[in-house]
Amino acid sequence: MKQIGFLLLCLCMLFPTGAQAASMMEVSYWEARAGSLGDVEVAGRDEIRLMNEALREKDTLSVDFSAYPDELSGDVVSTYIKEATPSADGLSELGKGGAVSRLTSEDVDELLALRNLEDVPAVVPVRYAVTVTRANLRFLPTATAWVDASGVRKEDRLQGTAVDPAEPLAVLMDSDDKKFCFVQMRNYRGWVSKDDIAFTDRGTWMNYAAPSRFLVVTANLAMVDVGGRKEIFQMGSRIPLIDHAWQTWKISVPTADVSGRLVEKRVSVPHDVKIFHEGWLSYTTNNIIRQSFRFLGDAYGWGGLDNSVDSSALVADVYRTVGIELPRDSARQELAMSHRVELPPILTEDERNSVIASAMPGSLLFQPGQVSVLLGTTHEGKPMVLQALYQCGASGLNGTEMQYPCRVLLSSLALLGDDGRTFCKRITSVGTMIP
């Protein structure tokens, strides 16, 4: 409630009445602002397929599993593992397991050795696996959190991203202790615990990589009962669909047997369109805005920790509900946009606001390390955004004192970054996914 109160205070500073600020917290306000254009399809399925192909050409971490090779050279796999590893300088600034004391060189060397680089064969046969629970993809093969040793920030710097159940993975290498696997997922690479995946053959694996029928999760989170165990699926997750009855869908949920092999279980989930949708949603600006609002008020989750989202996970999850496969990180998302308008530093704030206000609602606003969804403009012409926000300052609110909302918030671009500039001044480009 403290974070929401901070947000409303920021909004009320910009507008004459609290009622107007409160109305902007409802998706209906932005649907009305979009008018009839909000429900016009931006791109059809064939156009989205071509956009996804273009995205993969621009982003080296994104792959098309239908064309993924059966084997890779050892040099390529070794390079992938090294690229995922944080820099030595970065590791030296971290503390192990939340400790404030810095890691020793022995700590670092011990973990780096687990990458098992010396045993990478000349030719690596690809193995096929599917996640059986919400897993964490790590930059190094450990579940131990490594955080900023100064204690200022608490993010686990080895966390790459959360991976939802039923996600296909190409397994490329085992860690030296055999507890982790180095994997390629559809838009990222890193290490996952063997306990969180099940191995299968390529044919079965392709039923998850390219299912003929599927449900997409449209809620921020969906809980699915699998034999008495609750599995968490986040927005954008895709689950193979078996059948559709009057009040239920029957889906195929992956589990693992004692040997780590895939066992598929048939599970019934309620026919609730607020949680699931058969196939992708239509790509309209209103659907992007509606899906973004599903996260409003949720906790900030670095790399998907705490069963939530950071800024780039939010936009990737939202866009995946319409079938657009964005890269995972904001810097890669920015470079992969099909249409991008750069905002050079020389532009004034008024000039920047003018460019942003002219963009299609649902466009993405990029700044260093952060991305937000453009909701549109208010009646006064001010651009407003929705974003997962770790820290910010409020212009005029205790000067430039940093606030830590750690929430998904709706805000203007008048908030301040850690360099004292407004978000408006920090934006480097406006990206829009259009054919």
Q: What DSSP string runs through 171-230?
A: EEEE-TTSSEEEEEETTEEEEEEGGGEEEE-HHHHHHHHS-SSEEEE-SSEEEEEETTEE
For the sheet with 276-278, list strands across it.
262-270, 248-256, 238-244, 214-217, 276-278
CATH code of the domain containing 333: 3.90.1720
Residues 7, 146: one domain?
Answer: no
Structural domain contains residue 112: yes
Domain end residue (candidates: 178, 210, 242) = 210
Decide: 322 and 283 in contact? Cβ < 8 Å.
yes
Structural domain contains residue 135: yes
Residues 157, 185: one domain?
Answer: yes
User: What single letter denotes the amino acid at residue 261?
Assistant: R
At 362, is the secondary structure helix, strand, or coil?
coil
* Span 194-209, pLDDT tens digits: 999 999 999 999 999 9
Within the chain, what is the greatest distance between any pair of CA atoms? 67
The per-residue pLDDT for 14 is 45
Give me the domain span that covers residue 9: 2-44+328-432
Question: What are the pLDDT tens digits along the chain (435 aa)?
Answer: 444 454 544 544 444 455 566 699 999 999 999 999 999 999 999 999 999 999 999 999 999 999 999 999 999 999 999 999 998 767 766 776 655 567 788 888 999 999 999 999 999 999 999 999 999 999 999 999 888 766 556 688 899 999 999 999 999 999 999 999 999 999 999 999 999 999 999 999 999 999 999 999 999 999 999 989 999 999 999 999 999 888 999 999 999 999 999 999 999 999 999 999 999 999 999 999 999 999 999 999 999 999 999 999 999 999 999 999 999 999 999 999 999 999 999 999 999 999 999 999 999 999 999 999 999 999 999 999 999 998 776 654 555 566 767 899 999 999 888 888 999 999 999 999 999
* Distant-in-sequence contacts of 87-90, Cβ < 8 A, 24+ apart: 90/157
Residues 197, 86: one domain?
Answer: yes
Cα 332 from Cα 343, distance rounded (Å): 17
Question: Residue 170's beta-bridge partner residues?
Answer: 128, 184
Structural domain contains residue 195: yes
Residues 137, 165: one domain?
Answer: yes
Q: CB under 8 Å to 113, separation ≥6 — which residues?
A: 176
Domain end residue (candidates: 210, 242, 268) = 210
Decide: 214 and 241 in contact? Cβ < 8 Å.
yes
Residues 10, 130: one domain?
Answer: no
CATH code of the domain containing 133: 2.30.30.40
The per-residue pLDDT for 15 is 47
The per-residue pLDDT for 351 is 98
Structural domain contains residue 337: yes
Domain end residue (candidates: 154, 175, 210) = 210
Structural domain contains residue 117: yes
Residues 70, 202: one domain?
Answer: yes
Q: What string of DSSP letters covers 52-113?
A: HHHHHHH-TT---GGG--SEEEHHHHHHHHHHHSPPHHHHHTEEETT-SSBPPHHHHHHHHH
Residues 104, 183: one domain?
Answer: yes
Residues 71, 33: one domain?
Answer: no
Q: 394: left (phi > 0), else alpha (psi -120 to 50), else beta?
A: beta
CA distances from 410 to 3, 46, 293, 371, 425 (A): 11, 33, 9, 13, 18
Q: How many structural domains is the chain composed of?
A: 2
Residues 201, 336: one domain?
Answer: no
Structural domain contains residue 173: yes
Residues 35, 74: one domain?
Answer: no
Cα 396 from Cα 413, distance rounded (Å): 13
Burial profile 289-316: b = 16 or more Cβ within 10 angstroms, e = fewer: bbbbbbbbbbbbbbbbbeebbbbbbbbb
The per-residue pLDDT for 152 is 55
Residues 171, 114: one domain?
Answer: yes
Structural domain contains residue 393: yes
Report the half-sphere exposure of 159 (CA within 13 A, side-chain side): 23
The per-residue pLDDT for 393 is 64
Structural domain contains residue 253: no
Number of Cβ within a 10 Å radius of residue 281: 17
Residues 22, 73: one domain?
Answer: no
Number of Cβ within a 10 Å radius of residue 234: 24
